[in-house]
Amino acid sequence: MRRPRTRHHPYGRGRPVKRTVLDLYCCQGGATAGYQAAGYTVVGVDLDDQPRYIGDEFWQSDAISFLTVHADWIRREVAFVHASPPCQFDSDCQRIQDNEHPDLIEPTRVALEDLGLPYVIENVGGAVPKLREPVMLCGAMFGLARTYRHRYFSTGGWALPQPGHPEHAVRQVKLGRSALNGEAIQAIGNFAGVGIIRSEWGVPWMNRDGIREAIPPAYAEWIGRQFAGHLAAKEVAA
């Protein structure tokens, strides 16, 4: 299913759109919003319909199949690909509950390598052994007062620098209770504080399910700006 979008998302800041990002496993669009804020047009792909998705265009499809079927279009129109394979396979919470989930990191990387475009693969700490030289991002790096949410980003065809990691200045709430004033929130499971996270991340369209699966848009905005710098350096070198 293809669902084009014509409206401009409010998270963006009116920058001219010059490039397109393909957001695989996009869910409700945490990464998408960040890339939009960095000035990109974003096409989202997800196995499930995502009526809350806020990108410029949405395709309901298996992500790996989409890369194969639409390879010519992607190579022609897309600058780089962001992929966030479902993290449940490597999630401590899911292992404790003995739930079974597919491991899609390696199949996704193989498909992206075959495609031949620059890419970034994002996942949780449990997946680090399967990620190549990942860079870790934390909410404290981007001024998020109540979010740590360490996520790991592995690139292909280009490289990300590792930002400095500020000290965690506030205590993180334990799962199972509401956060006290000033405590950092673990936005996983049936967490309390959806409104707080919506406000801090700038994601008013998201519900709890979407937030659980998302990265803060600030992470993707930073990545998008790093990629723009990478392209600019290539142009100068040429």
Confidence at residue 175, expressed as pLDDT on a 0 to 100 scale: 77
Confidence at residue 100, expressed as pLDDT on a 0 to 100 scale: 60
Q: Give dist(CA 26, CA 208) in Å, integer.
A: 15
Task: State the fold for domain 2-237.
Answer: Rossmann fold (3.40.50)
Residue-level pLDDT, tens digit, the chain, 238 residues: 566 654 434 444 444 335 899 999 999 999 999 999 999 999 999 999 999 999 999 999 999 999 999 999 999 999 999 999 996 555 554 444 555 657 899 999 999 999 999 999 999 999 999 999 999 999 999 999 999 999 999 999 999 999 999 999 999 988 778 888 889 999 998 999 999 999 999 999 999 999 999 999 999 999 999 999 999 998 888 7
Collapsing DSSP states into helix, strand and coil, what is residue 213? helix
Confidence at residue 177, expressed as pLDDT on a 0 to 100 scale: 81
pTM comes to 0.89
The two structure tokens encoding residue 113: 């390598």
DSSP code of residue 81: E
Which segments of 34-108 are extended strands (E)? 40-46, 57-60, 80-83
The two structure tokens encoding residue 164: 């400095």
Collapsing DSSP states into helix, strand and coil, what is residue 14? coil
Spell out the domain ranges in the chain. 2-237
Confidence at residue 2, expressed as pLDDT on a 0 to 100 scale: 66
Half-sphere exposure of 186 (CA within 13 A, CB side): 11
